[in-house]
Each structure stands twice: as C-alpha cells, then as structure tokens.
A and B are shown apart, each in its own frame.
Chain A
C-alpha cells in the first residue's frame, strides 16, 4: 500500500466509498442509468498501474485484507475461560460446502496441544490379539481414503433452546465445519491388532491435557470411522488435532477425538465424563438421554442473516444456506418467506455427499416488505427438520445438546435481519 500513498491516483479509501455510493444509487432504481461516469472505470486504480508483490512474498497465502472480518469469533460469557471453550465458524461469509481450514470452529477442553509428529504415537490395546504402537509414518503406509463430512458440535444452537438469544448464524449455528478428510479407515488399524471375539466397544483417547475419551460401539468403528491426518488436502491444523484425529461421520463432534493417541477395545462402554456429566440430554422428567450420537437433519439460511443484512434494497434477492444430516444426504430443502405459511422448494447446488453439508439457494424478487425466513431440511431417510417448538414439546428446554430446530430470521423493510422466534 506504500505505492498507493506515493502515487497520484485517489486513495483506496475514497475510491471505495465512491464505488459504494454509485452501487447504492443503482440498486434503488432497479436497472439504473448512470448519472455520471463511474470513477471505478474512469480513474486508473493503483493495482492497474503499479506492479504487485512477487511470488516470493506469500509462501503460505492469506485472504485479501478486505476479508479481514471473516474470522472465527467467540462468545466470552459462554464459558469460564478460553481454554475449555468454543468459537464459531463465520457461516454468513462462506459459500459452497467446504469450510476453509483457518475458519473451522474450535472446541478444546484443555487448549490446543502442540504436538511434534515425530514424537506422536497411536496405541491400540485392550481386547486385541496384539496391542500395537504406530508412528505417524506407519499410519501413512495404510491405504488411504478421501471423504467429505460435516463435524457439528453437539451443543451447536444449544444457547437457543429457551428462545432467540444470539444475533447471527455464526453464533447460533457456527459450531460446524465441513472439510475433506484424508485418512485410514479405522477398521484397517483395528484389524492390524486383531479383534478378540468379545470386542464390542472402542475408547479413543486424545493426547491433550484433557485426555478426551468417548465410548463408541465397534459397529460404528468398523463401518465408516477414519483416522485422519489431512483436511482439505493439507495437514490437520493444530486446533483440529494435528497430527491425527478420529473422524466419526454424522455423529456429535465431541466423539471426533483430536490428537488421537490411543484406542482401547473393550466389551462395555466406559461411561466417562464426556458421556455422563456432559453430552447427555436432560428431559423435563429429570431423566436424561444418553448415547445420543447422531446429529439429526438441520439447516440454516446463512444469507440474509443478522450479520449479513440485505444491503441492495428491493429487487433480485438471493437466499442461501446450508443443510446437513448425520443420517444421510439432503435431497431437499424448503424455504419460507412468511414464517411457515407457505413453503418453496429451494435449489440444491454442488456435490451431495453422505453426512456432509449441502448448499441451497432460493432466488426471488423482494418487494421490500418484511420477511420471516426459515429453511426446512429433508434427509434421505425421510426425516424432516422439526420446529423448535416440536422439539421442546418432547425434550423441554434443558437438554442443551442436539437442537436442530428450524431457525427464523426477521427481515425488516430496510433489510436489517434479526434472530426471532415465531408462533
């Protein structure tokens, strides 16, 4: 930017505000005639005149500085500290189905373990013929697979059980990411140790200070679980479990043990802290559901949303969002503009993978009157995303986890968007 300050052209700041003003005028008039020449065209910008940085300037590239607001954010009051805490993916700024690695939400219980992969080991023990130890090099010598899966925290939307709380889909729905994992099917690794006939459960354990453990039935472990070392083509990020994590497709994020160091095979579940005190769902009766593993079909409109208002005024308007199901694919999403009186089938776009995010669009002409937007996902099992009220009738308001209720956004005449609940 030093070149721009020395140059004779307009500064970037004045240039940008000029462009915005021109754009705004055009929008209110529909297909507008330009009243005066657009300086974005008639004035030569710095980037069309001066050379930019060379190929050695950005060995690992970053987003444009104009995208610096597209970041993970946390909510301070949610947790006692930031070490056992969560932050949120900026869903309202993203499109398609793949979450960029640097924006994938984080959930740690004792912070980010920074692990030297040369010192990392994976142990398999318990009800196996031969307990084994693997290095990262060993793991890389198994046949690999590539799969796209969503990872949703069981507590995603958990703050919304009692009603509309947080103003933005980043906060209400952002404990989710969707990436392509490269890794080894877990069954290859378990078979290497040889399962005993009494084997029925596994207990994966992390190498971080929380030493996270969960009980997973062997059937799931042998079906589609993976031991993954790459996400979106590159090594896992430290905050996502570098050098290796468990992938448990369709199941609550807590089970996707990061920094995976050990898997014990047993004949019964362990009932550890993360499946008794936490990740159990309290009902109004005072009893609690346990082992609620699958994440049910869910969707949210990401644009417009409270952090992404409609800035262009009436006219052509794009509604877009994401839908996913832990039990299959998403063949269909319905969208309503009037709070659920009438529904329209949205247009699905992009790849449709099992237990992955799906992208939907609904295009319409906005007349400028207020809207009550909702989306409703259907999954390949025939399950239709319920309203929050339908869930609360069964589960009450204190189950914390597994809130897949339909989200409502209120859009006012100015295009400002708010998180609301409707009758």
Chain B
C-alpha cells in the first residue's frame, strides 16, 4: 500500500466530456451553471411537465411524491416529507430535477428551465412568496430550506452499541411470551390463488 501505483491505463478526459457529464451541484453552490428562471416561468413548465404526477400544487397524485406541504408533521405518527418540510438543501432540488426528472424523460430540461422549476417549487412551499421572484446562480445560495438544521450524523456507536454489545441471556430469560401482532390479520402479502385457498381451507 502507501505508494500509489500507476498502471498507465485510461486516457485524459477532454473538457467537452467533463462538461457533458459533470452536472452535480453541492449545497455551497459548486456546480451550479450560469442561468436563471422565475416562479412564473417555472409554473408554466411545471404544469406542462410535472403536474400530471406531482399535482398542480405539488401535493402528489396517487402514490407519486408530494413536493410541498407536510410542515410540522415530522414528529407526528404520519410524517409527510417534502422539499418544504424535510429536505435540507435547495441544491439537491436543482441537482435532482436536472439529472433525473421528468421521470421517463430525464436530462431534457435546460439549465434555465431547472432554475425556473426550482423557483416554482420554492413558491409552492411558501419559501418565496413573490410570484415575480427570479432564482439565478447569483442568489441561489442565499436561500435556506426550513429543515436544514434537523439532521445529525450517524451516532449508532455512541447511542446503541453499549446496549447492543452486552452478552445476552441464554436461559430462563422471560416468564411468559405473548403474540402481540400477526401479519395474517393484515393480509397484504401477495400470494397465488392456490395458496390462498389452501390457507382458507
């Protein structure tokens, strides 16, 4: 180890190749392209290309993801995790929409269109309230999302391991054992007709 070996394989990447593939964006704005887009422009694109799955107001249709709403639900029994309620960084919205949306037609949006859509998603979440707001490379990192501070780095070693590394009980560990829940009652497991009939018999 230690000494880096070189095998003389591969060839230098050209600037055009790097530009074609290196599209990732970070929270500090690194990777953002030149460009801009307004909430109003974003609404038009959104209604054309996004609303059929995500709903006119980002509420999500059927099982497709909601992009807005869910504020104050994270500590409830049924948290609704959206850009507004859960996502920590706006850069993730730009990056993900640009690389992977619309679902089934990825990387079809221009840089300006992604700025406009990102602005509209901010508007849907009441993070910007001005319909004329324009998001650009220059003002992008001024915007913070409400949930940014609510994530903590994996702490299993400190919080869980002391308890889970104890030698466990082997004999006479409990007085009694009761069944408290049964999957069969819920009955949501896929199975073929024959298995179902056999089970019901």
Contacts and interface: CB of A to CB of B under 8 A. Distances in A.
Interface of A: 73-77, 79-80, 83-84, 109-110, 123-126, 130-134, 138-139, 141-143, 163-168, 171, 188, 191-195, 203, 205, 209-211, 213, 261-262, 264, 266, 268, 270-273, 276-277, 280, 282, 284-294, 296, 306, 334, 338-343, 372, 376, 381-386, 390, 394, 397-398, 410, 416, 418-423
B21 A123 contact: yes
Given A164-B186, A423-B180, A288 B27 contact: no
A381 B21 CA distance: 41
B142 interface: no
A421 B189 CA distance: 16
Contact of A342 (B4, B77, B170, B181): B170
A204 B190 CA distance: 35
B184 interface: yes
Interface in B105-125: 106-107
Given A164-B183, A271-B88, A290 B63 contact: no
Interface in B4-31: 4-7, 9-13, 17-18, 21-22, 24-28
Q: Which of the four size classes fits the interface of chain B?
A: 35 or more
Nearest to B96: A273
Contacts of A188: 5, 7
Interface in B138-160: 150-156, 159-160
B106 A210 contact: yes
21 contacts: A77-B188, A80-B64, A164-B182, A165-B186, A211-B100, A213-B24, A261-B21, A262-B21, A271-B92, A273-B95, A277-B81, A286-B79, A288-B74, A288-B86, A289-B152, A289-B153, A306-B183, A306-B189, A343-B173, A420-B180, A420-B182
B156 A287 contact: no
A400 to B, nearest CB: 10
A282 B77 CA distance: 11
Interface in B49-90: 62-64, 74-75, 77, 79, 81, 86-89
A225 to B, nearest CB: 15
A341 B151 contact: no
B91 A419 contact: no
A267 B96 CA distance: 20
Given A211-B100, A285-B75, A386-B164, A420 B7 contact: no
Interface of B: 4-7, 9-13, 17-18, 21-22, 24-28, 62-64, 74-75, 77, 79, 81, 86-89, 91-92, 95-96, 99-100, 103-104, 106-107, 150-156, 159-161, 163-174, 176-184, 186, 188-191, 199
Contacts of A110: 100, 103-104, 106
B171 A398 contact: no
A313 B13 CA distance: 66
A382 B159 CA distance: 16
A341 B89 contact: no
B177 to A, nearest CB: 3
A270 B24 contact: yes
Given A83-B104, A133-B17, A394-B160, 13 more contacts: A123-B21, A125-B18, A138-B9, A141-B7, A164-B181, A188-B7, A264-B24, A282-B81, A296-B156, A341-B177, A372-B177, A381-B165, A384-B167
Contacts of A80: 62-64
B66 to A, nearest CB: 11
Nearest to B13: A131
B12 A130 contact: yes
A171 B186 CA distance: 14
Nearest to B165: A382
Nearest to B93: A273
Contacts of B154: 289-293
B177 A75 contact: no
Which are the 10 A-B pairs with shortest beta-carbon distances? A339-B177, A286-B75, A80-B63, A286-B74, A419-B183, A132-B10, A131-B13, A164-B183, A273-B96, A421-B181
B87 A276 contact: yes
A233 to B, nearest CB: 24
A167 B189 CA distance: 6
B134 to A, nearest CB: 24
Contact of A209 (B18, B21, B106): B106
B189 A394 contact: no
